Amino acid sequence: MKKILLSIVSLSSLTAHAEPVNFSREVLPILSEHCMHCHGPDHKARKAKLRLDTEVGATGGAEPVIVRGKSDASEFILRLTSTDPNEVMPPPKEKTKLTAKQIDTLKRWVDEGAKWGGHWAFEPVKKPTVPDAGKGWAVNDIDRFIAAGHEKEGIKPVADADRRSLIRRATFDLTGLPPTAREVEAFVADKSADAFAKVVNRLLDSKAYGERWGRHWLDLARYADTAGDNPDYPIPQAWRYRNWVIDALNADIPYDEFLRQQIAGDLLLAASDTEHHQKTIATGFIALSRRFGGGQKEKIGNQTIEDTLNTLGQATMGLSLSCARCHDHKFDPIPTRDYYALYGFFDSTQYPSTRTAMDTVVKLIDPAKLNALTSKNGDAIATLTQKIGKLSQRFDMLVMKNQPTMMVEKELDALQAELAELKKDWPEIPEAYAVQDEKFGKDTAIQIRGEQFKKGEIVPRGFLTVLGGQKLPPNTKGSGRLELANWIASKDNPLTTRVIVNRLWHYHFGQGIVPTTSDFGSRGTIPSHPELLDWLADRLVAEKWSLKQMHRLIMLSCTYQLSAAASPDNLLKDPDQRLVWRYDRHRLNAEETRDAMMFVSGALDTTQAMAHPFPKIGRLTEHAPFRGDFETKHRGVYMMQQRNRRNPYFEVFDGANVNACTGERGSSITSVQALYQVNSPEVAEWSRTAAAKVKSAGNAEAQVTQLYRLILARDASAEEIASGTAYLKRFESLAVTEKATFAQPLASLARALFASNEFMFIE
């Protein structure tokens, strides 16, 4: 009997571990979290001269710490399981003890031969075999990958969403606005097989699509209308890049070209001046890098370029490149040399400035025409501009040293007045906040410990070693940004395609296949469905990099159309909903909340906004920086965004941090948000506007009915009509008693509906 039991135990163990341990998905995350800070690439932090981030370091040498196939003879495992506080790893003081399951995983990995492998994200994208799963449920290959996960864990997906919930979900997803009651009713009544496909196509063709998905990209691009230096100088031209993003997405520019233009649009071939100007505007992605100090390049070079590299790395490849600025990346295979190989591309690039007399913004006009328009007083203006520039630098220096600036200010005022007089007949010339190549490209020296003026060896410009490490050809002219753009936007770059399809999944479902959408490194979360991720990445290229085609593919799946219903059994097996067995209910984001209230009330201006009404700006300092708020009836994506002073509305409703690449917004539920709905003068105005639209409907019952249709896009129930009518009567009675002649009962009911969960949440 005892032998039989032992056999059963042995058999169950073999069954539980039928598949070999996957290094990149199971082993590497453990090593990264618990071991590599002391035994990783950073030689200064390395203990006992032991490296566990490389195969040679762990298994090579005369006395390797890992003996392949023998966990009981491997010091690595013996240290993990030791009960001696002087021997056990990690040391007790680290307070990062491994779990029994983690130790078992490492033991099995060693016993299976300690097969090493690169991190999954750096491996080439492979087109996986679509699983034969989801019979009777799946309608496309996305569903089959998802169904395979369900079947493996014994999970059954919930039922489909009802049609009203589905069209509301899709309309907000693609446009950031709610559907009208007529649109909802038309979809509910359409019984054709392609009814939902027609809805998706209509929404993708809407210009509101670019505004909604443009906002997602602007979050990643850390878009702002000010520079971020101490004075926080306005960037009056930034709107051109914002609108370029929106227009590019509406035009469904292939994603590889979308990236290429933002990194090196000024260097791409163009068929006309207009096309060249548009591609130059796209480089606002680089130009909008945050400025530091007084805003001049010689003061801020390394920090601004660090912001460029970090944004570029996180947004396009899911990598935190700036971690390698001062030392080799502690967790990912990015040495400091690679950081400065990339740094050289931007050290050879001219960033613009809007500071007084330091104007290096790009003129969107043919140079010959520009010379003709500005030739009058040209020599005098050039001389005066140079003089003002030198005096401005002196002014900045005095401010930094807290020394008096009164005499310099007076002289600057006089020179500025003289310059204005010389330029008074000049026409207004369109400008772009964009980058340009400097005259000669150059390689950059390593900055020791990240300090700009402590130089080490010069590093040739090139690409990440882990992805090939190619260097620029010796005869490359200019910065090399075009070569960089082509490398990032290549179908052979496994990070670029994986990162963008994961972002699409995240924005549609609220959680990415890789939840850490901007961190695909070893500290990030491993994919829940790695084969699906690669299948989507491969499909993107097959669809000629069309994001709209990927939207269609995702949204027409059964997976996307599931209801938000709960399942107690599924929650026990998959509490984090990684296996996507329902749709995750979520609150409207900041722009959606504002835009939806304005849209249904009729207060929203749906045309595309242009420049902000910045006043004429004199000299700004850290003690007297720019401050501004501009009211607008346009959509939230067009609101002015300031780096050093966050808009209070976006603070309340978890807007993006404009100083960092934001891949995932938070979603808090606070009393301040509720108070905003109750006390905000803007919400009061939109409520009055909504009430005015239904005032003429007739009696109280008719008004309540129409208000529900307007705000919630559905008919009110008999109970809701009775409740709403009673609310209006009580309000009117109280207003008479209190002699509140200003009271507006219908507007108050509209505000209550705006604050309702049905309005504020997506099912």
- The predicted pLDDT at position 562 comes to 98
Residue 1, pLDDT score: 42
- pLDDT at 7 > cutoff 60: no
Question: How many helices, marked H, and strands, marked E, lie in the chain?
Answer: 33, 8
As a whole number, mean pLDDT of residues 375-396 equals 79
Mean pLDDT of the chain: 90
**Any idea which of 115-129, 194-208, 576-590 has the lowest mean pLDDT?**
115-129
Residue 457 DSSP SS3? strand
Whose tokens are 């005499």? That residue is 407
Q: Which of 131, 132, 120 is nearest to 22 (CA)?
A: 120
Determine contact, residues 119/521, Cβ cutoff 8 Å. Answer: yes
Q: Which residue has the higher pLDDT, 220 or 36?
A: 220
Half-sphere exposure of 366 (CA within 13 A, CB side): 6
CA–CA separation, 229 and 251 (whole Å): 34
At 372, the amino acid letter reads: A
Per-residue pLDDT averaged across 452-460, rounded? 92
User: Looking at 15-24, 125-134, 436-445, 672-681, which range is the least confident one?
Assistant: 15-24
pLDDT for 18 equals 58
643-685, pLDDT tens digit by residue? 999 999 999 999 999 999 999 999 898 999 999 988 999 999 9
Three-class SS of residue 618?
coil
pLDDT at 590: 97
Q: Is the pLDDT of residue 5 over 70?
A: no
Q: At what angle do helices 207-220 and 163-175 cross, to 10 degrees?
A: 60
Pairwise CA distance, residues 342 & 326, whole Å = 14
Q: Please indicate whether residue 341 or residue 55 has the higher confidence score (pLDDT).
A: 341
- In this prediction, residues 171-198 reach a mean pLDDT of 98
- Look up residue 252 and give its DSSP letter: T
List, for residues 464-481, the tens digit of each pLDDT value.
988 988 989 888 889 999
Name the token pair of 41: 């690439």
What is the predicted pLDDT for the residue at 146? 98
Q: Mean of the pLDDT values across residues 606-632?
A: 89
Residue 155 to residues 145, 284, 556, 578, Cα–Cα distance (Å): 14, 46, 21, 12
The predicted structure's pLDDT at residue 24: 66
On the question of pLDDT at 95 being above 80, the answer is: no
Residue 517 amino acid letter: T
Give dist(CA 247, CA 217) in Å, integer: 12
Question: Alpha-carbon Rg of the chain, whole angstroms?
Answer: 30
Dump the DSSP string for 310-370: HHHIIIIIS--GGGGSSSS-SSSS--HHHHHHHHHHHHTEEPP--STT---PEE-S-HHHH
pLDDT value of residue 10: 40
377: Cα separation from own chain's centroid? 46
> CB-based contacts of 744: which residues, under 8 Å, 6+ apart?
688, 691
Give the model's pLDDT for residue 740. 66
pLDDT of 394 over the 90 cut? no
Per the listing, tokens 């453990």 go with: 30
If DSSP states are collapsed to H, E and C, what string results for 677-713?
HHHCHHHHHHHHHHHHHHHHHCCHHHHHHHHHHHHHC
Q: Which residue has the higher pLDDT, 406 or 43?
A: 406
Is residue 420 exposed (0-12), middle (13-18) or buried (19+ Cβ within 10 Å)?
exposed
Per-residue pLDDT at 355 exceeds 90: no
User: How does residue 375 score in pLDDT terms, banded at 50, 70 and 90?
Assistant: confident
How long, in residues, is the chain? 763
Distance, in Å, from the CA atom of 433 to the CA atom of 236, rounded to the nearest integer, reads 8
Give the model's pLDDT for residue 294.
55
Residue 616 DSSP code: P
Average pLDDT, stretch 229-249? Answer: 95
Predicted local confidence at residue 154, as pLDDT: 96
Instruction: Answer for the pair 120, 136: CB distance below 8 angstroms, yes or no.
Output: no
Q: What is residue 414's predicted lDDT score, i.e. its pLDDT? A: 87
- pLDDT over threshold 80, residue 236: yes
pLDDT at 450 over 80: yes
Asked, as a colleague might, if the bond just before 254 is cis with ω within 30 of 0, I would say: no
Q: Residue 674 corresponds to which tokens in the numbers above?
A: 């509720």
Stretch 306-334: mean pLDDT, rounded? 92
Say yes or no to pLDDT of 6 above 50: no
Domain ranges of the chain: 20-118, 212-358+436-488, 365-429, 675-762
40 vs 746: CA distance, rounded Å: 65
